[in-house]
Amino acid sequence: MSLHGAYDPDNIFGKILRGDIPSVKVWEDDQVLAFMDVFPQSEGHVLVVSRTSQARTILEIEPDVLERLILAVQRTARAVEKALTPEGLSVMQFNGEAGGQTVFHLHFHIVPRWTDRPMKGHGHAPMADTEQLKALATRIAAALE
């Protein structure tokens, strides 16, 4: 998929947003959803998506929606840091297949990092245990400000 194209509402995040596929939610409001990545690159890997935009990439998103989304990323990253006390955080966002994007609904990754734990590859991590994801989501949600 290129950097530009038609939005496919049947992408996995579109299905999650509609409730067609379950997710482990960290928090949500009427504009944003933060949920656990089921193929985490690290313990506590959270995804943040817009509920209102059909932008596939950062090049397409409406500026006011991007502002709201990036504030949600920051809020979520602070909660991840408080709940899990990682030594670092990677905040990533991929655009286009050549740029590493695998789901064509604009999203941000928040990946906690520790020096003694290697990060798994994007799109190559094994599927996580749902109960472990729920426990992490509860810890992160409790740390939200």
Task: Confirm whether 107 is a catalytic residue.
Answer: yes
Instruction: Quote the Cα angle for 64-68-107, to 5°.
Output: 100
Helix (H) or strand (E) holding 92: strand 88-92
Question: Which residues lie closer than 8 Å to 82 by C-beta, 6 or more apart?
Answer: 143
- For residues 101 and 1, the answer to whether their CB atoms sit within 8 Å is yes
The residue from 45, 107, 109, 124 that is catalytic is 107
Tokens of residue 113, six digits:
């990092």
Closest residue by Cα to residue 35 from 17, 52, 53: 17
Backbone angles phi, psi at 94, to 5 degrees: -110, 145
- For residues 111 and 119, the answer to whether their CB atoms sit within 8 Å is yes
Which residues have a catalytic role annotated? 107
